[in-house]
Every structure is written in structure tokens, then in C-alpha cells.
């Protein structure tokens, strides 16, 4: 099966967004987990010091830098990432260059980069808003200079899936048969389309996806690695490509990033949100208990969400239930707790232990019996009804 390479930019695009800066130790700690996650390329960021550090410690993924060229290259397969904007908007108002001047600068920097590094990625910033003829001209030139990865970012999150895919189809057609050149997608989430655009790009032949843990990044963020990973896995029959990712590391990576930065993901976030596998509606709980496939397209365990179990023994008291329920976001009254305890013990007699899922089902059962009015103290939930 064809493979899509996963390029993690949590430490560069993610780290440069407000509230997400990390110190060196934190970056190294997170990089270790990103490596375990099985990403193919790790973008180590701008600061030269952290690149040296990460390159030395993590030879397997391919750390690389923007613009600046290290004097020595400790990484096993270093890659240099060069970029310049290609849209008229950026050329005119930001760079104050003509198209010709930009093309000239691009080829100059590419030739320079090629002398220092075998593997060069070129990013055409704001590619999705660039003139397609000019963009193709630039791509042709950088490929001739030796670029092997062509990244065409939707820098401002403006594109739609159909448009973004069309751009790659057109570029591929103009470029001709070039198995040595990998096309890459880099999407931002300003319209909430970063993941959808990335997946559309895969359908158009893109074989590298740039993404971040928890979707962090400039403004509304980048495509979220956990969402891309599960979409490509759960719908592999549709996309027909594999990745090297170890899905069970997705949740631990998400948690580590949150704990390092102090920024939590919203509860309804796909895959890693607190409610991603929570079921509140009674009919959903009933289905889940009979067969999880009724309302779950993947198991929480498959993405590393721990299957926390509350083991009941002779010495388990009500406080254990109360504490666990509080962890799950439910404050319980004494009356609720008394009824819940009786029901839970009855279930534990049959099943020896009860899971968080059982516990949530029981608290809802108790509350449905107690009052038809919606409960005030349960956690917010987005379960579809």
C-alpha cells in the first residue's frame, strides 16, 4: 500500500503561536514522544540551538531548519526547508518584489541550499492564493535546482477541499512523471477545513502531510495529527494509504503537549477531547454497552485513551465512587451516591469491576429515575442524539 509521510511541525509552526512557546527541555521531552508516535519528519524549528540538540538525540526522524544552515549535520537524514511566498498579495505588499525578482531569489537560495544539504524541501508560501501559472513556473525551477519535496501551503486557511485538491492535480500534470518529487500539504484551520483540505490533497496524490499535535499553530492552528491519523486509518478503505504512526501514542502526545503548555483541548475535540468517547444519551449508552460499534467508529484504547477501571473489592467505599465520578466531571449528592452505590455493587457482583463507562451509565440511570429535568452537574457533552 502507498504510504503518506507524516511531517510534524508542532515544534515550529505550533510553538510559534501565542501561548505555546516551550523551553529546550520541554521540546526535547515532546520530541521524544513525537518520535515514538512514528512521525517520518520532525521539524525542529527556527532556533539553531534547539535544532542541534534535537538532531543529535533523534536521528531517525529528520529534523531540519528553515533558512539557516547548520555548520555540521548530526541528523541521519537532514533536510533543509526553504520558503518564499508566491502569491501576488505577499509579493507586492510583504516582500515588495516582482514575480521575476522572487523567482530569481528562490533559485539563488535553492542552489545555495543544495550545496549544503542533499534533501531540500521548498514551500511556496500562500500557494493556494497564487497565480497557478506562476506557481508552476516556480515549482519547475526549484525541482530543476534539486528540491525533492514541494510543499504547497494553504497558509491562511482560505482554500476548500475541492480547490486545494485541484491545485495539486494541476501541479502534478504540469510537472509530469516525477516519482522523485514528493508533493506536500500544509493546511491552516481558519475555516475549520485544515484536516479536510489535507485529506483532499492525499486524494490528489500528495504524499506528505504537515500537521501538529492538537492542531496547534498560527491563528486557528494547523491540521491536527490525531485527526489525520485516525481518518486515514479508520477510512483506509477510502483513502487507500498507510502511515507509520502508532495510534496508541496519540492521546499521550496530546496530554503531554497540554501539560507542558497548560492549554487544554476543548472537550468536544475529535479523538483526544474528554468527550470524544463519552456517551450521554440513554439510547446511545444502551447501544454502546451491547456493542460499542453502534456508536463508536474506533475504540478509545486504539488511540491510547486509557481504559481506566475502578476495581471493586470488599474495601471499596462510597468515597471511591464519589472521587472517580468527580474526576469524570460529576458532582453527586448523598442521595444519588447511595442509589448509585447499590447499583454499582450489584453490577460488580456480576462483572468484578466496573469501568468509567459503567459508572457514567449508572449515574445517568440514577438521575433519570430521580427527575425528568436535566441534571445540573454533569459534564457538558456533545453526543449526537
Cβ distance to Mn ion smaller for residue 139 or 152: 152
Instruction: Tell me which stretch binds Mn ion (CB under 5 A): 12-20, 46-54, 140-148, 260-268.
Output: 12-20
Cβ distance to Mn ion smaller for residue 121 or 336: 121
Minimum CB distance to Mn ion, residue 83 (Å): 10
Cβ distance to Mn ion smaller for residue 85 or 363: 85
15 contributes a contact to Mn ion by CB under 5 A: no
Minimum CB distance to Mn ion, residue 221 (Å): 9
d(C-alpha 291, C-alpha 130), whole Å: 49
Minimum CB distance to Mn ion, residue 188 (Å): 6
Compute CA distances 152 → 3, 259, 327, whole Å: 19, 32, 43
13 contributes a contact to Mn ion by CB under 5 A: yes
Minimum CB distance to Mn ion, residue 51 (Å): 18
Minimum CB distance to Mn ion, residue 139 (Å): 19
Minimum CB distance to Mn ion, residue 172 (Å): 22
Compute CA distances 303 → 2, 212, 215, 375, 383, whole Å: 22, 16, 16, 30, 19
189 contributes a contact to Mn ion by CB under 5 A: no
Long-range contacts of 14-18 (CB under 8 A, 24+ apart): 14/212, 14/213, 14/216, 14/217, 14/221, 14/222, 15/45, 16/45, 16/46, 16/217, 16/218, 17/216, 17/217, 17/218, 17/219, 17/221
Q: How many residues bind Mn ion (CB under 5 A)?
A: 1
Cβ distance to Mn ion smaller for residue 186 or 284: 186
Concatenated DSSP letters of 208-273: EEEEBGGG--STT-B-BHHHHHHHHHHTHHHH-EE----GGGHHHHHHHHHHHH--PPPTT-TTTS
Cβ distance to Mn ion smaller for residue 50 or 151: 151
Residue number with the shortest CB distance to Mn ion? 13
Cβ distance to Mn ion smaller for residue 68 or 178: 68
Nearest to 209 by CA among 50, 1, 31, 3: 3
Instruction: Tell me which stretch binds Mn ion (CB under 5 A): 11-19, 51-59, 254-262, 368-376.
Output: 11-19
Give the footprint of Mn ion on this chain (CB under 5 A). Answer: 13
Amino acid at each position: 500500500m502507498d504510504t503518506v509521510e507524516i511531517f510534524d511541525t508542532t515544534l515550529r509552526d505550533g510553538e510559534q503561536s501565542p501561548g505555546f512557546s516551550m523551553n529546550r527541555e520541554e521540546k526535547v521531552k515532546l520530541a521524544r514522544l513525537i518520535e515514538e508516535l512514528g512521525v517520518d519528519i520532525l521539524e525542529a524549528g527556527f532556533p539553531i540551538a534547539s535544532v542541534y540538540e534535537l538532531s543529535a538525540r533523534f536521528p531517525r526522524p529528520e529534523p531540519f531548519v528553515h533558512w539557516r544552515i547548520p555548520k555540521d549535520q548530526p541528523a541521519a537524514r537532514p533536510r533543509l526547508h526553504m520558503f518564499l511566498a508566491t502569491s501576488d498579495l505577499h509579493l507586492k505588499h510583504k516582500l515588495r518584489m516582482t514575480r521575476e525578482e522572487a523567482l530569481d531569489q528562490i533559485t539563488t537560495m535553492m542552489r545555495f541550499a543544495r550545496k549544503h544539504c542533499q534533501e531540500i524541501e521548498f514551500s511556496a508560501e500562500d500557494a493556494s492564493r497564487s497565480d497557478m501559472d506562476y506557481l508552476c513556473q516556480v515549482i519547475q525551477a526549484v525541482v530543476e535546482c534539486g528540491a525533492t519535496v514541494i510543499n504547497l501551503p494553504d497558509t491562511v486557511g482560505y482554500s476548500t477541499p475541492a480547490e486545494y485538491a485541484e491545485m495539486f492535480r494541476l501541479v502534478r500534470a504540469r510537472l509530469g512523471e516525477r516519482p522523485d518529487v514528493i508533493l506536500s500539504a500544509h493546511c491552516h484551520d481558519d475555516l475549520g477545513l485544515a484536516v479536510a483540505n489535507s485529506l483532499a490533497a492525499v486524494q490528489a496524490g500528495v504524499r506528505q502531510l504537515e500537521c501538529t499535535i492538537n492542531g496547534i499553530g498560527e491563528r486557528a492552528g494547523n491540521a491536527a495529527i490525531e485527526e489525520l491519523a485516525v481518518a486515514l486509518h479508520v477510512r483506509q478503505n477510502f483513502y487507500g494509504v498507510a502511515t507509520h504512526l502508532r495510534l496508541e501514542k496519540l492521546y499521550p502526545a496530546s496530554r503531554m503537549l497540554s501539560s507542558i503548555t497548560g492549554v487544554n483541548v476543548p472537550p468536544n475535540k475529535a479523538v483526544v477531547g474528554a468527550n470524544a468517547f463519552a456517551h450521554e444519551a440513554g439510547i446511545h449508552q444502551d447501544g454502546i454497552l451491547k456493542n460499542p460499534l453502534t456508536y463508536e467508529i474506533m475504540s478509545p484504547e486504539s488511540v491510547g485513551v486509557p481504559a481506566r477501571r475502578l476495581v471493586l473489592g470488599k474495601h471499596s467505599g462510597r468515597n471511591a465512587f464519589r472521587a472517580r465520578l468527580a474526576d469524570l466531571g460529576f458532582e453527586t449528592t448523598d442521595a444519588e451516591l447511595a442509589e448509585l452505590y447499590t447499583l454499582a455493587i450489584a453490577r460488580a457482583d456480576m462483572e468484578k469491576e466496573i469501568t468509567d463507562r459503567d459508572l457514567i451509565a449508572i449515574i445517568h440511570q440514577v438521575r433519570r429515575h430521580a427527575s425528568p429535568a436535566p441534571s445540573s452537574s454533569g459534564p457538558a457533552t456533545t453526543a449526537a442524539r
